[in-house]
Structure 1
Amino acid sequence: MEETATFRDFSGENYPTLAAFLTELRPTEPVSEDSLRRLDAGRATGEHHARTLAWAGAKLVGVVETERSRTFTRPGWYGLHVHAAGSSLTNSSPANPSLGSPSLRAELLKQGLNTLRPLSPTVLHTTLDEHAAEYRWLLQQGWREHERTWLSRLDLTTFRPEPFSGRLARSRMAGVEVRTPRELGWDGSESFQRRVYDLTVQLLADVPTTDPILPWPFELWRKRVLDHPDFTPDGPLIAVQQGEWVGLTELYLPRREVPGLLHQGLTGVRRGWRGQGVAWALKLTAAARARAQGWEAVSTGNHTVNREMLGINAEMGFVRGPARVVLVREWAEISAAAAPPSAC
């Protein structure tokens, strides 16, 4: 007999199974139960988030997740993410979708749409690997590409800083020093926290992206960044010139699912201080510190329109992996496609 899927809402006991399922789908980007729990714990109060799981008996075969994401925060924008296991089973029907078939993905999508409908969404978005089956399938459904991000990794075991000594010398000639918050007097006070936050907000405003980045309110930023278990005042690096904080690179998030891998987040330089080698000083100092701490590699992500940072990364030896692509579709288009034809 052909196996069919049943659908149930996510519960806390499903974290281990969901982590294993997502890791099986993308073994190069493993997910842990702990990382899922931390991500969920960092959501704002009242922020929409839901998961529906597809099961074949006791086996998880699919999940659809809906959310107000941390990145796309414009009114009416909601994330909808479909993940289905692969299978060669065929001859399914929409009422009883077989595992891994297009109808399983379609039913998961339908479940997500039903979850979001009461919230009056205007635009749906999803982020996925350009090689994922769901990417091609959603394009066929009428979704379109909104933005693209390159993921890349620097092998610290083979990285050699000597060819870049002139870059560092230039920044030092300009009076640039790179320090951690602890080295700059971190005391955990709100005034110090807000100084880091204000610098972050200034830098985010200039990150080349398809959409302007809307910063989180201070309290939410503190919850998601400073209160994160992996945050340490010895992690981020701040570029200082004549007492001014002029740049930042975030270097404090280990990818615990991948031993030896450290993630590098935002790297930016304030207007007026660019062209003096500050970005290079931050990137090279970060690589040196990470290697000295025993990390084997550093990963990062950059929007494809961020040509300057992509150029620095390429010159340093960061190797690009598959792109992560954001697809969008207007809710009105989905509603129109689902509406019955009018009578003649």
Structure 2
Amino acid sequence: MVPNLNIRPFEERDYPAIAEVLAAAWPDEVHTEAGLREHDKHAPEIRWGRFVAEVDQQIVGVGEYTQFEGMYHPQKFAAWITVKPAFRSQGIGKALYRRIMEAIEPYDPISILSSTREDQPDASLWLQKLGFVEKMKYWESRLDVKRFDFRLWAGKIEAVEAAGFELRSMKELESDPDYKQKLYDLWLEARLDVPRPEAISGVSFEDYCKWVFESRYYLPEGHFVAVDQHTGQYVALSTLWKTDGDYLHTGLTGTRRAYRRKGLALALKLLGIRFAQAYGAREIRTGNESNNHAMLSINEALGFVKQPIWADYVLTLKEEALSAKEGALA
């Protein structure tokens, strides 16, 4: 154990130091105080907490536990521990992990999810030693926006429009009094097909609006929707979000099941790339689960380059209780 180590609860004054820890551990990503504050806006039912590790009063590590609004279960948690590279292998991560486990113990947790990237083999090995089992893999892929050649995709957007679809940004659709509700309804259907490590849970319209329209990273000019001209229904979407760096991040890209195989997702992603070029972004980053072949194939064709693969790991502490219906049938 490193001398003069102090593990204490997070305080608001710690935001800049935590951003420094994350930036040191993940130098290819941008971490800021503003981004952390945005991250810390949770639905009321979510239990979460954070601890910092200090050595000689310098913050060198951070540990956090939380729950997911979109995969909510009152006894399922997620946890991440990050230590500055220069301070690793000194017991700091273990100390943070113990404090997290103590913090969630009163909630009778049944599982904990964590994740790391394949270029961090020590972290993967550590999780496995703790009993975590790999659950899901996914790639982040990146597109060099300035080098994208639209000539290779000539006519794709026009073909979709000729087939009876309007391709619009949310900024253009703000005159529709029901645009938020229509986007939410589309999102509800599209998210059903997104692979995830835990069971999906409901998200209210009110919470969705807070996540999207009240976010400092919401980019209405970069949120694109396909509208069926005959019904006015929003039938496909592809969203770009601002970051604190020189890149944009792709949120959800999806199509209602009845409207698939019409080229809608591809056309919307092309609109997004065109927007990113005009916006001055250096690249677009997106994430795809390793078995999501349909979206992976679109991104690969567009020129997105896969980065080191991420893996989700789950530690099962106790078996999930049977539901009342299952118990009655047993």
Shared fold by TM > 0.5? yes
Match of 2:109 in 1: 121
Counterparts in 2 of 1:86 and 1:296: CA distance versus 1, 3 Å: closer
Q: Distance in 2 between matches of 1:195 and 1:273?
A: 16
Greater displacement, 195-204 / 102-111: 102-111
Match of 1:325 among 311, 314, 318: 311
Partners of 1:245 and 1:170 in 2: CA distance: 18
Worse-superposed segment, 127-136 or 17-26: 127-136
- 1:249–1:282 CA contact under 8 A, matched in 2: yes
Is the counterpart of residue 270 in structure 1 residue 256 in structure 2?
yes
Shift of the 211–53 alpha-carbon distance from structure 1 to 2, 3 Å rule, reads: closer
Q: 1:146 aligns with which of 103, 123, 135?
A: 135
Q: CA, structure 1 residues 3+182, in 2 after alignment: closer, same or farther (shift >3 Å)?
A: same
Per-residue deviation at 1:283? 0.8
1:69-88 equivalence runs, <5 A = 69-87=68-86
The CA distance in 1 between the partners of 2:179 and 2:164, in whole Å, is: 23
Give distance in 2, aligned partners of 1:115 and 1:277. Answer: 48
1:238-253 aligned at under 5 Å gives the runs 238-242=225-229, 243-251=232-240, 253=241
Q: Does structure 1 residue 302 correspond to structure 2 residue 288?
A: yes
1:163-192 Cα offsets, whole Å, 9 max, x none, are 1124334323422221012323436x5x43
1:132-161: CA deviation from partner (whole Å, max 9, x where unpaired): 232221112221111112101111110001
1:326 positional shift = 1.1
Match of 2:189? 202
- 2:64 corresponds in structure 1 to 65
What SS class does the counterpart of residue 296 from structure 2 fall into?
helix
Q: How many residues align?
A: 316
Q: Which runs of 5+ in 1 are unaligned?
A: 88-98, 334-344
Distance in 1, Cα, partners of 2:173 & 2:16: 40
Q: What's the counterpart of residue 38 of structure 1?
A: 38
Counterpart contact for 2:255–2:264, Cα < 8 Å:
yes
For 1:145-224, what aligned pairs fall within 5 Å after superposition? 145-186=134-175, 189=177, 191-224=178-211
1:281 Cα offset (Å): 0.7
Question: Which has a greater percent of helix?
Answer: 2
Establish whether residue 111 from structure 1 lines up as the match of residue 99 from structure 2. yes
| Among candidates 256, 270, 290, match of residue 284 of structure 1 | 270
Which letter does structure 2 place at the counterpart of 1:3? P
Q: Kindly provide the amino acid, as one letter, of the partner of residue 168 in structure 2.
A: R
Alignment deviations for residues 185-226 of structure 1 (CA, whole Å, 9 cap, x no partner): 436x5x431111111111111224454533421111111111
Q: Aligned partners of 1:276, 1:332: CA distance in 2, in Å?
A: 45
Percent of pairs identical after alignment? 30
Alpha-carbon contact 2:118-2:311 (below 8 Å) kept: yes
**Residues 138, 102 of structure 1: CA spacing in aligned structure 2 closer, same or farther, 3 A cutoff?**
farther
- How far residue 232 of structure 1 moved from its aligned partner, in angstroms, is 4.2
Q: Contact conserved, 1:238 with 1:245, CA < 8 A, in 2?
A: yes
CA 1:215 to 1:329, structure 2 compared with 1: closer, same or farther past 3 Å?
same
CA distance in 1, matches of 2:131, 2:13: 35
Relative to structure 1, the CA distance from residue 168 to residue 328 in structure 2 (aligned partners, 3 Å threshold; closer, same or farther) is same
TM-score, scaled to structure 2: 0.89
SS in 2 for 1:234: helix
Match of 1:336 in 2: none
Q: Could you report, residue by residue, the CA deviation over 1:220-278 in whole angstroms, capped at 9, with x for unpaired residues?
A: 11111111123243231111222332101112x2221x22x111110011111111111
Q: Cα gap change, 1:2/1:295 in structure 2, threshold over 3 Å: closer, same or farther? A: closer
Q: Does the CA-based 8 Å contact 1:269-1:278 persist in structure 2?
A: yes
8 Å CA contact 2:81, 2:96 repeated in 1: yes
Q: Unpaired segments of 5 or more residues in structure 2?
A: 320-330
Q: Distance in 1 between matches of 2:189 and 2:37?
A: 30
8 Å CA contact 1:130, 1:323 repeated in 2: yes
Question: Is 1:22 equivalent to 2:10 in the alignment?
Answer: no
SS at match of 1:27: coil
Supply the distance in 2 between the matched residues of 1:204 and 1:168 (Cα, whole angstroms).
Answer: 24
